[in-house]
Structure 1
Amino acid sequence: MNWKDIINKEKNKNYFIKMNNFIYKEIKNNKIIYPKINNIFNSFKLTPFDITKIVIIGQDPYPNINQANGLSFSVNLNSKIPKSLNNIFIEIKNNINNFKYPKHGYLKYWSNQGILLLNRILTVEKNKPLSHSNIGWEIFTENILKIINNNKNGIIFVLWGNYSKKIEYLIDKKKHFILKASHPSPLSANKGFFGCKHFIKINNILKNQNKKIIDWNLF
């Protein structure tokens, strides 16, 4: 099983065809869409199905210029680190002794280690958060999560904030792990994200499964 075949199957479904037509019509009408078309499925390109062991669910891509790259919470190498990601780094620093605060927010190295950084919505119009909600991406990502749930074991699902927690019902708790906390945004980080110790917990779960732990440092 691989992402290419899984995604191609979704692309042939009516909901996806309608969504695809909508996005290309928007582009034709000179609307700027993030991330770039060739980066929309970056999370799957960088984290193959067979190495996926953690799924961190985000909401939708950053809507500002030169930020979104197809990975939830991640930004391009030369972008300023957003406040939510900064809070993630602060929590890691408080968890992991050898973590060095990164100079950038490009999370590719996490993806390469088996962390699927998946937004529930994979595109957005410039400067308009959630502008592509309810066009079909939620169906796509729920189908992806069902496939992971049904075909893998011992996956760690990380749900930050109420929007991410909406997918909890898709996960079989008898065969997978769920870590929940408030969203790392400045509005809610103090309501349960800070102190959640998810990054230690993730590595402890991986150790108990005899899987390689995550190096949270970025290079």
Structure 2
Amino acid sequence: MDVAMEPSWKKELATEFNKPYFESLVNHLKTEKQAGKVIYPAGSNIFNAFNTTPFDKVKVLLLGQDPYHGPGQAHGLCFSVQRGVPPPPSLVNIYKELQDDLGLPIPRTGDLTSWAQQGVFMLNASLTVRAGEPMSHAKIGWATFTDAVIKKVSDDKQNVVFILWGRFAQEKASLIDASKHCIIKSAHPSPLSAHNGFFKSKPFSKTNEYLVAHGIDPIDWKIEG
């Protein structure tokens, strides 16, 4: 199956695209669209995380669960929203921790593309969602695909920082070889859980400390605009 994706990822994931589950997933999305369902993000952004952060550039894997399900929000990078859209509550808390951890100003935009361009692979476990229906595509095959993606990064790369916020993300730790990567875990930045260990967890400085210790350029976490 031909998938529009950045070449290095397309090569790494070629076997996944030809498996029956992936064909079923694509057919499911086509059927919903034909039935008039609105799906986020737009088709051109479904693989935005892959297209913005090539496989050989991945330094950090930040795992989210589900794309935002409101209009104009999701654009294929976990926790990020398109420019002009107010940062959602979880992202507001991420910014609070960013300020507390590194002393950086609270950004006005919720667009995290600059992180992705530096090697922060911003993966959601599900890459699509029906408008207004959170988790509506959680069981159509995306988890099989993104589990394979996480395992591929773990197996074929060295010294990647995996940031797992919340119980859902932390369950994916079993896919990661902790002997050659760094796993950073904490509570989820959601307002429901951020006070249970996300705040004061210092994920941004911890990430950069690990990267520098392994001879890898750190991430400039400052968001302009």
Is the aligned partner of 1:166 residue 2:171?
A: yes
> Is the partner of 1:2 in helix, strand or coil?
helix
Indicate the RMSD between aligned Cα atoms, in angstroms: 1.0
Give the TM-score normalised by the residue count of structure 1. 0.97
Q: Does 1:191 align with 2:196?
A: yes
Instruction: Specify the alignment match of 2:69 in structure 1.
Output: 63
Q: Does residue 12 of the first structure (1) align with residue 18 of the second (2)?
A: yes
- 1:116 equivalent in structure 2: 121
Residue 156 of structure 1 corresponds to 161
Give identity over the alignment, percent.
42
What is residue 3 of structure 2 aligned with on the other side? none
- 1:103 deviates by 1.2
Q: What is the SS of the residue equivalent to 1:89?
A: helix
Q: How many residues of Structure 1 are paired with residues of Structure 2 in the alignment?
A: 218
- Residues 1:41 and 2:47 aligned together: yes
Q: TM-score, normalised by structure 2?
A: 0.95
Partner Cα separation in structure 2 for residue 186 and residue 31 of structure 1: 29
Distance in 2 between residues matched to 1:11 and 1:73, nearest whole Å: 26
- Where does structure 1 differ by over 6 angstroms across 4 or more consecutive aligned residues? none
Q: In the TM superposition, what is the alpha-carbon distance from 1:217 to its structure 2 partner?
A: 1.0
CA gap of 1:72–1:162, structure 2 versus 1, over 3 A, is: same
Please list every run of 5 or more consecutive structure 1 residues that lacks an aligned counterpart in the other structure. none
Alignment of 1:29 onto 2:29: no
Q: Residue 93 of structure 2 is aligned with which of 87, 107, 127? A: 87
Q: CA deviation at 1:187?
A: 0.2
What's the CA shift string for 1:168-214, capped at 9, x where partnerless?
Answer: 10111111110000100000000000010111101111110111111
- The amino acid that maps onto 2:99 is K
Q: Which amino acid aligns with 1:184?
A: P
